[in-house]
Amino acid sequence: MLPTFLIPESTIREDGAGPVVPLGPAQGKLLMLTLAITRIIEQESLEVSVWGSPDGKDWGSKALLVLPQKFYCGVYRFLLDLSPHPEAQYLQARWKVNRWGRGDPRPLFGVWMTAEQVESQVLAAGSA
């Protein structure tokens, strides 16, 4: 699986969701998720979750992964093991934003997120 955008490069000002992404041959595999926050203003937070679906319509009631809230620009990487979720054929990233304090009450984030399959041999070599 080549890197696939779960969140295309975007300016986010409210809660939302990315495109529905088919997993194809990465179904049931280990994925590396890369979240990049390229723009942020003070006193705001971003929470991203990744959801799985067998048909691209029914997403269930619980995310596969909820990333820790982010408050700063940076590039963050997370592993998502899909082996406990073999039924997941599609992924979707969703986000919630929050802003507090003075100034414009609307949040403002520049963000993108990708997913790519990680080969188990790469992990084994990295831990040796």
Write down the domain spans for the chain: 4-122
Query: What is residue 126's predicted lDDT score, i.e. its pLDDT?
Result: 53
**R_g (Cα) of the chain, nearest Å:** 15
Write the CATH number of the domain with boundaries 4-122. 2.60.120.1110
- Write out the chain's pLDDT in tens, 128 residues: 678 999 999 999 999 999 999 999 999 999 999 999 999 999 999 999 999 999 999 999 999 999 999 999 999 999 999 999 999 999 999 999 999 988 888 999 999 999 999 986 455 545 55
C-alpha span between 3 and 113 (Å, rounded): 9
Query: What is residue 91's predicted lDDT score, i.e. its pLDDT?
Result: 98
What's the pTM value of the predicted model, to 2 decimals?
A: 0.90
**Pairing mode, strands 65-66 and 21-22:** unpaired
| DSSP3 helix / strand / coil % (the chain, rounded to 5) | 10, 50, 40
